[in-house]
Chain A
Amino acid sequence: MNILRYTLRRILYAAPILLGVLLILFLIFFAVADPVDIARRAKGEKASQEVLDAWLELHGYDKPKFPSWEDPINCILFDHYKSMLTFQFGASDVDDQPIVDKIKRGMVPSLTLTVPSFFMGIYLAVSISLLVAFFRGTYIDYMGVFLCVLGMSVPILVYIIAGQYLLSLVLKYFPMSGFERGFEGWRFVILPVVISVLGGLGGSVRFYRTIMVEEMGRDYVRTAKAKGVGDSGVMFKHVLKNAMIPILTQVVMVIPYLFLGSLLMESFFGIPGLGSMTKDAIDANDFATLRVMVFIGSILFIFGQIATDVSYAAVDPRIRLE
């Protein structure tokens, strides 16, 4: 009963944020970038005024930007809110394909890449950081932290380029790029997954280690030791369980982004997901597609936040009272 009310309140709280996000998008895409400029970029510098006007009218960009007193509905601001909130995204600025179709097509390839990297990344980072924290203060620990900082300092582009070169061009373990739907496509996915896991490992191991070392200084660890629990027992039973709470908070926030795919990985490895769709939109100055992608990303994030908060409230009754 109480949890329902909390959920409802949380959703109501998200509404002004969603409206704010839409306002920011409007400001970026229509106030900072003038529709006439967008038309010129889409149709080329030398396009005549008639061509530009026709393009603007076709995409509904010829209306006044802000509402006026006489006709508050007939403006881009209103159209923008209406189309986004009703999920009528319309067509791309460049090839006039419906954006919704593009997104539906790209969702699955993106997920086949991001979901395995997500789980492998967490599994490896948690186990390695547990190991490093277990040996804290020894050379294994110093070495581990040093390697983490080293790994964090390598640009992700270098990971991708070097990995692709070494593992697929020289050693020929994996295909260079490409994608195949269904289970047969696994060999295309492995390399990007491995690279994105490795690229993110340094930062997350270091972060999780800090959390675990912090947990190891708490009173319950001392109590557990006093009652005779062994070092590894303390580590795996007590510290790991308690450290999982802050770790999970971080992890859950990433889940919505799995749907967005990975911009770099997908365009490097030729995976036709939402990431390479976004890359194409950037290259082609396709503002409409980009706008929709940013909006969908924000919606996913907001819903992810609500889901996190509600699940916390379900577990921890103290949160509901606040």
Chain B
Amino acid sequence: MGHWFSNIVAGTILLSGLLLTFKMRRHPYWKSFLEDLFRRKSALASLAVVSFYMVIALSDSIAWKDQVQAETGDLVTARSPRSVLDRACSSLGLTEREASYSAPFAQVTLTEKEPLKRPGGHPLGTDILGRDVLYLTLKGARPAMMIGGFTSMIVIPVALFFGILAGYFGGRVDDLVQYIYTTLASIPGLLLLIALIMAMGRSTVSVCVALGVTSWVGFCRLLRGETLKVKELEFVESARALGTTHAMILVKHILPNVFHLVVITFILRFSGLVLSESILAYLGLGLDASWGSMIDLARDELARDPIIWWHLTSAASALFILVLAVNFLGDAVRDVLDPRTRRLAR
């Protein structure tokens, strides 16, 4: 039943993405943000790259089960669902298993004992189990997006809630929130991450939760500081003088004025999260089929003769290009959204 859940999540992400773009085009602030952003060539290029990865990850998330012909001749439902990406790749012949290693576009396997089923048909070669490396690399997009996306979905609400409350109310609330995050921040990040994942067991959810626990502190601190600044401004004062409730002030006046930080931090943290998954994969605590675990698997292949470089290179380049694009996009978004640099750019 796991694939239905993933279908629903993928559908929701797609829908909310469309809705958000539609809404942003109507809102004057976000409209000018988009116009400024699209004026930068590097931002456009990196946005295109990130969207490409998003499309691949989403196409790998939407899956259904086929009706297949059983040995008896009846039509039965296949045991495992196949995603849109699986179907596209299998129509290109990429899902075909070979006997062992073969180089990119090779005509024979490395051992030359077994003939290739598709000579010259594997643009990035095959790995030790004969799986097509291009297919594996494309499959790695989904875990990477899941790490970045789900962790942010945990971090952003928690950090917003505690950061704004602490900054707005001050006093005891502030003391408590500060105590909690100072204590958490006193534990070395990587060690806390490892401890949490080992205690919760190795799964996607526990990796995301653990990354969330270790990364909400900095964000919360940032939001608290910004709220402290915003709440002193005149419009908050006048709202209070008019008798607006605290809840209304928080939602209508404070939240929109710190929200640019959420967008900036979300994009800038995303690449860090994807990179830390590759470290976790080396420690054996990462996600299955991620680029990190591909790199970890391919690590010993460099010592072989002839060396197997394509496995490591494909996974590392896929990871590198995504992180690079996200980094550039994050810088552009910060330049456009941050009022300090915004004035300079004009």
Q: Are A301 and B198 in contact (CB under 8 A)?
A: no
Contact among B186, B194, B283, B284 with A298 in the assembled complex (CB-CB below 8 Å): B186
B182 at interface, CB cutoff 8 A: yes
Which B residues form the contact surface with A (CB < 8 A)?
179-180, 182-184, 186-188, 190-192, 194-196, 198-200, 271, 275, 278-279, 282-285, 292, 295-296, 299, 302-303, 312, 316, 319-320, 323-324, 327-328, 331
Q: Write out the residue numbers on chain A whose beta carbons fall within 8 Å of the beta carbon of B278.
A: 155-157
Number of A residues, CB within 8 Å of B: 42
Count: A-B pairs, CB below 8 Å = 115
Contact among A152, A158, A278, A287 with B191 in the assembled complex (CB-CB below 8 Å): A278
Report A221-261 residues with CB < 8 Å from chain B CB. Answer: 257, 260
Give the distance in Å from the alpha carbon of A144 to the alpha carbon of B212 in the complex.
32
Q: Are A157 and B295 in contact (CB under 8 A)?
A: yes
Q: Write out the residue numbers on chain B whose beta carbons fall within 8 Å of the beta carbon of A257.
A: 188
Distance in Å from the Cβ of A116 to the closest Cβ of chain B?
Answer: 21
In the complex with contacts A20-B183, A155-B275, A282-B283 CB distance below 8 A: yes
Q: Are A283 and B186 in contact (CB under 8 A)?
A: no
Q: Are A21 and B279 in contact (CB under 8 A)?
A: no
Interface string of A278-322 (1 = CB under 8 A from B): 110011010100110110011001100100000000000000000
Distance in Å from the Cβ of A289 to the closest Cβ of chain B?
Answer: 11
Contact among A28, A149, A150, A158 with B196 in the assembled complex (CB-CB below 8 Å): A28
18 A-B residue pairs with CB within 8 Å: A17-B182, A17-B183, A24-B184, A29-B195, A32-B199, A33-B198, A149-B327, A155-B320, A156-B278, A157-B282, A158-B320, A161-B299, A260-B188, A282-B198, A294-B187, A294-B191, A294-B195, A301-B187
B interface, over-half SS? helix
Closest CB pairs A-B (n = 8): A20-B183, A33-B199, A297-B188, A153-B324, A153-B323, A32-B199, A155-B278, A294-B191
Look across to chain A and name the residue whose beta carbon is closest to the beta carbon of B295. Answer: A157
A8 at interface, CB cutoff 8 A: no
Q: Are B320 and A287 in contact (CB under 8 A)?
A: no
Q: Write out the residue numbers on chain A whose beta carbons fall within 8 Å of the beta carbon of B186.
A: 17-18, 21, 298, 301-302, 305
Q: Write out the residue numbers on chain B whose beta carbons fall within 8 Å of the beta carbon of A298.
A: 186-188
Give the distance in Å from the alpha carbon of A152 to the alpha carbon of B196 in the complex.
26
Contact among A264, A282, A305 with B285 in the assembled complex (CB-CB below 8 Å): A282
Interface centre among B285, B316, B331 (most CB of A within 10 A): B316
In the complex with contacts A165-B302, A283-B284, A157-B279 CB distance below 8 A: yes
A44 at interface, CB cutoff 8 A: no
Q: Write out the residue numbers on chain A whose beta carbons fall within 8 Å of the beta carbon of B323.
A: 152-153, 155
Distance in Å from the Cβ of A140 to the closest Cβ of chain B?
Answer: 18
Distance in Å from the Cβ of A321 to the closest Cβ of chain B?
Answer: 20
